[in-house]
Amino acid sequence: MIEVRELTKRYGGTVAVDALSFRVRPGTVTGFLGPNGAGKSTTMRVLLGLDAPSSGAALVNGGPYAALRRPMHEVGALLDAGAVHGGRRAFDHLGWLARSNGIGTRRVAEVLEQVGLAGVARKRVGGFSLGMRQRLGIAAALLGDPGVLMFDEPVNGLDPDGVRWVRRLMRALAAEGRTVLVSSHLMSEMELTADRLVVIGRGRLIADTSVRELADRFARGVLVRSPRPEDLAAVLVAAGGTVEPARSGTAEDAPSGTGEGAPSGTGEGAPNGTGEGAANGTGEGAPSGALSVTGLDAAEIGERAAAHGIPLYEVTPRSASLEEAYMELTAGSAEFGAVAS
Amino acid sequence: MLDAVAAEWWKLRSVRSTHVIVSVAAGFAVFVVLLAVQQAHVWDGLDAAQRTRFLLRPLQELGGWVAQLCLGVLGVLAAASEYRTGMVRTSLVAVPSRSRFLAAKAVVVALTGLAVGEAVSIGCFLGARLAVGGRPFPDQRAPIAHDLPGFAVSGVAVAVFALLGLALGVLLRSAAGAIVAVVLLWHVVPLLVYHLPGPWNERLGSVMLSGLPTEIAGLSARQSIYGDLLSPPAAAAVLPAYALVPLAFAGLALARRDA
């Protein structure tokens, strides 16, 4: 259990965290999201007793972290995987950590095995890749078999296999009833890992919600393409839906689930050669026969269209675009945003 | 506390810099003994008048003096390398009590400094005596038991330098800055003080850290750049202050600072 209450942290005149409150419950993976500079790492540092709060409280298992005598048995944390002495061997790095909390060396060998670093235990950390350092940091967090785990950007630098491994590990840890807080600035990553989301921007809480609620809240209706868009629009409006022409060729209208992964994200009409596709080449604003429908779900749209003999080329619910939801949520709160052209 | 001390000991012995520093100090002790062998040969070629002015003690004291610098650097690195890599956060997550963290580091650094300091200082003393054999150097006529405490104090001064380095490492958080500060206190400031107009050269020269062992042993500092105005008990009180006062400031800074 992690609890942050009205937490404020100032560095000189800069407010890094501003009256932030949220709770992280056991048995779930909670994604801690925000743009760079939003205050995620600061919040974690305060939670771990590294930085003192300017006001408010950050509690772990009901008390301040600094009051814990052998904290690694209760809380495991990965803050910065690069923060290791390059001259020390992996086994020694975990060894001194374990020793500081009265944990035996057998456990060190166990976690090295668990994160897949057993083969390089006697190698100096200086020669490790970023991905290996991430694994070493995760091993350190697991040493004391803690009930609360905090990971700051754990997939940075990992290859796809490593990313998947971390994802599974987080889910497995939560399934065992542990409290897991994972920070990230990538919504696409959290979408696959987290059950709940705490979104912050400029140090303030933007959303504290489940992944599903957030998706529903930012539902964009259903994208429909048909060679007879006018007929279809009339039918759907009659059925109680709201219909707008969808703009093609822009990233915002890509009917993709993850923002990045879907191959259709580059303009939906073009590969089919239906005629409207020509509009795609000339860019934004041109109607392409694609409609954005709200108020009706994909099944209802399909049935209405079939009842009226209108062919459909595509029916894509756009409720899963968490990336967009996140961008919308954090718009204006990015600390170091580039100026849009 | 024992866990924290054991962890700090593991940290210290698992990096190469520690081994290098201790090897340099030990190597220098061997070098001193080799120089003593050479001094013995020089002695053999001198006439009686020259022999009365030929001293061995400055050479014997060289080992401890170099060990002071080496272990001062070791103390600096014990703290500053954690700040350089950011590992200090990992350390404070493992041991959240800042006072326990610093105390554990101080215990390990002090004991390492003491062990190396005594080994080098007493090793140079006894090794040089062995090397010159029965040759009656004017400053080697006292029995070993008479001169040994002086060299033992010099070994303690090595531990004080190690702690001073540790405190400076915590305060400055930079190895380069803290090592420069250690070198200043080790030799540069005493040299400057030596050139001050009297009586200040003598007064300030008496409280220079490297000169304290001589004063504690009750020896004259006429041959050195240091003063000898302090009584042995007064000098013995000033010596630990060089470690404890900076450590107290380091403890305050550590407690008040965000890591």
pLDDT band at A269 (very low <50, low <70, confident <90, very high): very low
Mutate to test the interface with A, among B93, B95, B101 (most CBs of A within 10 A): B93
Looking at every residue in chain A, the average pLDDT score rounds to 83
| Closest CA in chain B for residue A123 | B14
CA A203/CA B112 separation, integer angstroms: 45
Q: CB pairs below 8 Å between A and B: how many? A: 85
- Residues B122 and B2: their CA atoms lie apart, in Å, by 29
From the list A268, A272, A245, the residue with the least C-alpha distance to A255 is: A268
Strand A148-152 with A75-78, pairing:
parallel
CA A23 – CA A208 distance, rounded (Å): 9
Q: Could you tell me if A182 and A20 are in contact, meaning their C-beta atoms sit under 8 angstroms apart?
A: no
For residue A177, count other CB atoms closer than 10 A to its CB: 10
Amino acid at A226: S
One digit per residue, the tens of pLDDT, for chain B of length 259 reads 899 999 999 999 999 999 999 999 999 999 999 999 999 999 999 999 999 889 898 899 999 999 999 999 999 999 999 999 999 999 999 999 999 999 999 999 999 999 999 999 999 999 999 999 889 999 888 899 989 999 999 999 999 999 999 999 999 999 999 999 999 999 999 999 999 998 999 999 999 999 999 899 888 777 788 988 999 999 999 999 999 999 999 999 999 999 8
Q: d(Cα B247, Cα B61) in Å, to the nearest integer?
A: 27
User: Are the beta carbons of A49 and B92 separated by less than 8 Å?
Assistant: yes
Task: For residues A250-275, give the mean pLDDT.
Answer: 40
Dihedral (Cα; B25, B28, B33, B35), 10-degree rounding: -160
- Between the alpha carbon of residue B97 and those of residues A50, B104, B148, the distances in Å are 10, 11, 40
φ, ψ for residue A86, nearest 5 deg: -60, -25
Q: Yes or no: is domain A2-217 CATH 3.40.50.300?
A: yes
Q: Which helix (H) or strand (E) holds A56?
A: strand A55-60
In chain B, DSSP finds a helix count (H) and a strand count (E) of 12, 0
Chain B: give the shortest CA distance to residue A27, in Å: 23
List of chain B residues whose C-beta atoms are within 8 Å of the C-beta of residue A97:
7, 90, 94
Q: Tokens in use for B133? A: 């054999």
The least confident of A163-177, A211-225, A256-270, B18-32 is A256-270
Q: What is the ipTM of this complex?
A: 0.91
Pairwise CB contact (< 8 Å): B259 & A45: yes
Chain B interface test: which of A46, A79, A99 (most B C-beta within 10 Å): A99
Nearest-neighbour CA in chain B from A67: distance (Å): 8
The count of residues in chain A is: 341
- Identify the CA nearest to B87 among candidates A150, A97, A109: A97
Mutate to test the interface with B, among A85, A105, A138, A143 (most CBs of B within 10 A): A85
Chain A: give the shortest CA distance to residue B7, in Å.
5
pLDDT of res. A163: 92
pLDDT at residue A274 in the model: 40
The residue written with tokens 């001293």 in the block is: B55
Share of chain A above pLDDT 90, in %: 53
DSSP structure string for B41-66 = HHHHTS-HHHHTT--SHHHHHHHHHH
Q: Which of residues 89-108 of B touch A (CB under 8 A)?
A: 89-97
Q: How far is B20 from chain A (nearest CA, A)?
A: 12
pLDDT reading at A279 higher than 80: no
**pLDDT above 50 (res A197):** yes
Euclidean distance between CA atoms A311 and A299, whole angstroms: 14
Cβ of A99 within 8 Å of Cβ of B82? The answer is: no
Which backbone phi and psi does B47 adopt, to 5 degrees? -90, 175
Q: Which of A45, A93, A100 sits opposite B95 (nearest CB)?
A: A100
> 3-state DSSP call for residue A92?
helix
Instruction: Tell me the domain boundaries of chain B.
Output: 2-256
Cβ <8 Å between A96 and B8: yes
Mean pLDDT, residues A18-30: 95
* Three-point CA angle B219, B223, B225, nearest 5°: 100
Chain A interface disruption, residue of B90, B91, B257, most A CBs within 10 A: B90
Say what the pLDDT of residue A338 is.
Answer: 58
Task: State the pLDDT at residue B237.
Answer: 95
**Contact (Cβ atoms closer than 8 angstroms) between residue A48 and residue B93:** yes
Residues 6+ apart with CB under 8 A from B106: B163, B166, B247
Please name the residue of chain B whose CA is at the shortest distance from the CA of residue A104.
Answer: B3
Residues in chain B within 8 Å Cβ distance of A102: 3
- Closest-CA residue in chain B for A140? B90
- Contact between A72 and B94 using a beta-carbon 8 Å cutoff: yes
Q: What's the rounded mean pLDDT across residues A122-129?
A: 95
**pLDDT over 70 at A271, yes or no:** no
Whole-Å CA distances, B79 to B4, B99, B162, B183, B246: 15, 14, 11, 17, 13
- Condensed to tens digits (0 to 9), the pLDDT of residues B62-79 reads 999 999 999 999 999 999
Contact B86 A100 (CB under 8 A): no
Interchain CB distance below 8 Å, B10 and A80? no
In this complex, the residue of A65, A85, A89 whose CB is nearest that of residue B87 is: A85
Task: Identify the pLDDT of residue A34.
Answer: 87
CATH 3.40.50.300 in chain A: give the residue spans: 2-217
Q: Which chain B positions have a beta carbon within 8 Å of A48's beta carbon?
A: 89, 93, 96
A99, B6: Cβ pair inside 8 Å?
yes
In 3D space, the residue among B255, B246, B245, B243 whose CA is nearest the CA of residue B114 turns out to be B243
Q: Would you call A97 and B7 a contact, using CB atoms and an 8 Å cutoff?
A: yes
